[in-house]
């Protein structure tokens, strides 16, 4: 017996970083309207091994991190939502090997869910959903999931579900991604932003949307400022993240930014060897550091 059954397929979703994230306002339903530029990264990335299950078993789900097993996992919810929407519920086993750190602002769970949705939709034949239906089902699972149905960088508006593909020339750019051992809860990060907004309003002070200088990136959508509304509130709670941002700049990054609601922080470099040296130094203090060169 091999450990890779002939019928098994490995799905390899990546993750994302946000080159820009402006929180615009709190909506009545508790969600926030934003404008963000998502950029996909191939590493770190999880693996979902999908193999055939026994007849009538539906989905059997396992994970390399036992804490992430169970019906609450977004992969299980994606399977159930797809089955409910289409009636297509194949007997499969899915084993998720987790590599994308949780609570890091990298959208690992959302990427896993989108990968399974695309896989199921590809097999559903007559029951398959069209793009709009799949997008809407994805948005119900999580605000970042629709982005992972696409392939390239995209501007997201609304709560993250209104997507416009963006032409962003990143060729030759090296990205160093630092994942500290800090877990940031996204709902808490939004609540912290709400509280900071209320305080600023009471005091009549302008609200700081970015923690430091900005770098502007040309895109097909116009110039996009490298900045993130979450930085001021998250850096206040986790000063070590601000330090990582500053250290990346000291090591030669021409822009450095926290991704999503944190905790990961990335730096952009013109020279790959410089990026690699920075990554080696940062690895001394961050449990996980990744380098990616855009080709």
Which residues are tagged catalytic?
Answer: 16, 144
In the chain, how long is the greatest CA-to-CA distance? Answer: 69
CA distances from 240 to 28, 196, 209, 289 (A): 33, 20, 19, 15
Least Å distance, CB 59 to ligand C5P, is 20
CA distances from 179 to 17, 259, 267, 279, 288 (A): 12, 10, 12, 11, 5
Q: Which region, left, alpha or beta, applies to residue 107 given φ > 0 means left and ψ of -120 to 50 means alpha?
A: left
- Residue 143 touching ligand C5P (CB under 6 A): yes
- Residue 150 touching ligand C5P (CB under 6 A): no
Specify the stretch interacting with ligand C5P by CB under 6 A; choose among 136-144, 147-155, 175-183, 267-275. 136-144
Cβ-based nearer residue to ligand C5P, 82 or 190: 190
Specify the stretch interacting with ligand C5P by CB under 6 A; choose among 60-68, 141-149, 164-172, 201-209. 141-149
Token pair 């877990």: residue: 183
- Residue 254 touching ligand C5P (CB under 6 A): no
Residue 88 phi, psi (nearest 5): -95, 110
Which member of 13, 105, 108, 142 binds ligand C5P (CB under 6 A)? 142
- Residue 187 touching ligand C5P (CB under 6 A): yes
- Residue 19 touching ligand C5P (CB under 6 A): no
Q: How far apart are alpha carbons 166 and 248 in whole angstroms?
A: 26
All residues at 6 or more sequence positions from 218 whose CB lies less than 8 Å from its CB, including other chains:
169, 224
- Residue 147 touching ligand C5P (CB under 6 A): no
**Count of residues engaged in binding ligand C5P, rule: CB under 6 A:** 12
> Cis (ω within 30 of 0) for the bond into 44?
yes
Cβ-based nearer residue to ligand C5P, 112 or 144: 144
Cβ-based nearer residue to ligand C5P, 192 or 244: 192
Residues 80 to 99: which contact ligand C5P by CB under 6 A?
none
Q: How far apart are alpha carbons 149 and 111 in whole angstroms?
A: 8
| β partners of residue 223 | 218
- Residue 249 touching ligand C5P (CB under 6 A): no
Crossing angle of helices 108-123 and 74-86, rounded to 10°: 30
* H or E, element range at 139: helix 131-141
Residues 190 to 229: which contact ligand C5P by CB under 6 A?
190
- Residue 8 touching ligand C5P (CB under 6 A): no
Which member of 15, 34, 39, 282 binds ligand C5P (CB under 6 A)? 34
Which member of 100, 144, 234, 267 binds ligand C5P (CB under 6 A)? 144
| Residues near ligand C5P (CB under 6 A) | 30-32, 34, 142-144, 159-160, 186-187, 190
């Amino acid at each position: 017996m091999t450990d890779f059954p002939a019928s098994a397929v490995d799905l390899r979703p990546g993750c994302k970083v946000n080159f820009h994230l402006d929180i615009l306002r709190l909506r009545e339903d508790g969600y926030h309207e934003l404008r963000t530029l998502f950029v996909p990264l191939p590493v770190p990335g999880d693996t979902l091994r999908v193999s055939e299950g026994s007849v009538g078993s539906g989905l059997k789900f396992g994970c390399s991190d036992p804490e992430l097993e169970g019906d609450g996992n977004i992969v299980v919810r994606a399977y159930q939502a797809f089955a409910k929407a289409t009636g297509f519920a194949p007997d499969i086993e899915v084993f998720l090997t987790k590599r994308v750190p949780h609570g890091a602002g990298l959208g690992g769970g959302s990427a896993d869910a989108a990968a399974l949705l695309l896989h199921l939709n590809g097999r559903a034949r007559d029951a398959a959903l069209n793009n709009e239906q799949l997008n809407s089902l994805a948005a119900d699972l999580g605000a970042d999931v629709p982005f992972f149905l696409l392939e390239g960088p995209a501007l997201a508006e609304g709560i993250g579900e209104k997507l416009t593909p963006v032409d962003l020339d990143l060729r030759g750019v090296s990205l160093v991604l630092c994942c500290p051992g800090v877990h940031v809860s996204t709902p808490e990060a939004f609540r912290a932003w709400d509280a900071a907004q209320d305080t600023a309003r009471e005091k009549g002070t302008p609200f700081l949307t970015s923690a430091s200088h900005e770098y502007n990136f040309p895109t097909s959508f116009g110039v996009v400022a490298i900045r993130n509304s979450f930085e001021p509130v998250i850096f206040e709670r986790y000063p070590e993240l601000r330090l990582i941002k500053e250290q990346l700049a000291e090591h030669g990054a021409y822009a450095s930014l926290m991704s999503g609601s944190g905790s990961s922080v990335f730096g952009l470099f013109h020279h790959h060897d410089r990026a690699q040296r920075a990554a080696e130094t940062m690895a001394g203090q961050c449990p996980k550091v990744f380098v990616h060169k855009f080709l």
